[in-house]
Amino acid sequence: VFPDGIPYIFKDANGADYVPGASGIFFISVQDPQNYVITYERTGVLYINPSGDHLRKIRTYLDCVEENFGDPDGLNYIAHYRYINPNDETIYILEGPDNQLTGPAAYSGELPFMFLPGEGTFQIRFDGNTLKWELTSRDSTHKSSTTSLANLNSARCAAGFITEDFFTNSFIIYPNPVNGILFIDQQLSERVTLDVFDLYGILHTTRILDGRSGPVTHEIDMSGYYEGMYILRFSMQDDVQVYSVIKE
């Protein structure tokens, strides 16, 4: 069928071919042979990170630990982690040796693997034993690791800390998980660009959020989205913030 070897094809979410030096997410397929039909059980995905001495490592933080007593799985604490990607480009670090949770703690939750420019948060339920998030990323031309530890003695989340919905001084985003309309309360008095990505890096919608006339609530209809995690990127005049929501 392929006397000269298998001709692989790499295309991004917009159908553009991969070119040497490009970074991003590319879907892998095989050139259709004559007289055969290829059926894919699962689409191959290739993640290509940018390179160069301009890259700076992703920084990680434990913001606080929230008490979660009465959890049916005995995971009576929630670790609230945060990361900052200071680069202008998205960095992909799949779960594995360079992106892992270790320690004696029992836990439940998913690590992020797509780090858009700016800041993002996520939560992990755990039993109070030591839980360590280790992340290794490029810093200039070499790798550099950061570690953030959580346990039952870590600093508690302050009273009023919002756990079910993401909160900043600029936005309140709810409900999370969402199965229909996602509401975004904007407190920031400027025009903001909102991009919604899935975990393959596919852009699903772009909206301009205008808060110059005062606080306003925006609505994003996610009823037609597939189930899974989505990334919300808010691009402001002097900052970029990234958050995630779960579509059920």
Domain with 231, as residue range(s), is 166-247
How do residues 92-130 score in pLDDT, each as one tens digit?
Answer: 999 999 999 999 999 998 898 989 888 888 889 999 999
**Residue 165 confidence (pLDDT):** 42
Q: What is the mean pLDDT of the chain?
A: 87
Q: What is the pLDDT of residues 16-70, one digit of tens each?
A: 899 998 998 888 888 777 777 777 777 788 889 999 999 999 999 999 999 999 9
The predicted structure's pLDDT at residue 3: 67
Least confident of 162-176, 202-216, 224-238: 162-176
Query: What span, in angstroms and rounded, lies between the C-alpha atoms of 198 and 196?
Result: 7
> How far, in Å, CA of 195 to CA of 173, rounded?
14
Q: What is the pLDDT of residue 37?
A: 79
Q: Are residues 207 and 242 in the same domain?
A: yes
Say whether pLDDT at 166 is over 70: no
Which pLDDT belongs to residue 168?
52
Is position 139 within any domain? Answer: yes
Decide if 42 is inside a domain: yes
Q: What is the DSSP letter of 199?
A: T
Strand, helix or coil for residue 159:
coil
Residue 103 lies in a domain: yes
Judge whether 87 lies within some domain: yes
pLDDT of 161: 60
* pLDDT band at residue 15 using 50, 70 and 90 as cut-offs: confident
How far are the Cα atoms of 98, 135, 137 from residue 146, in angstroms, in the given order? 10, 5, 9
Q: Is residue 188 part of a domain?
A: yes
pLDDT score for 62: 96
Q: Based on the fold, state whether residues 243 and 220 are members of the same structural domain.
A: yes
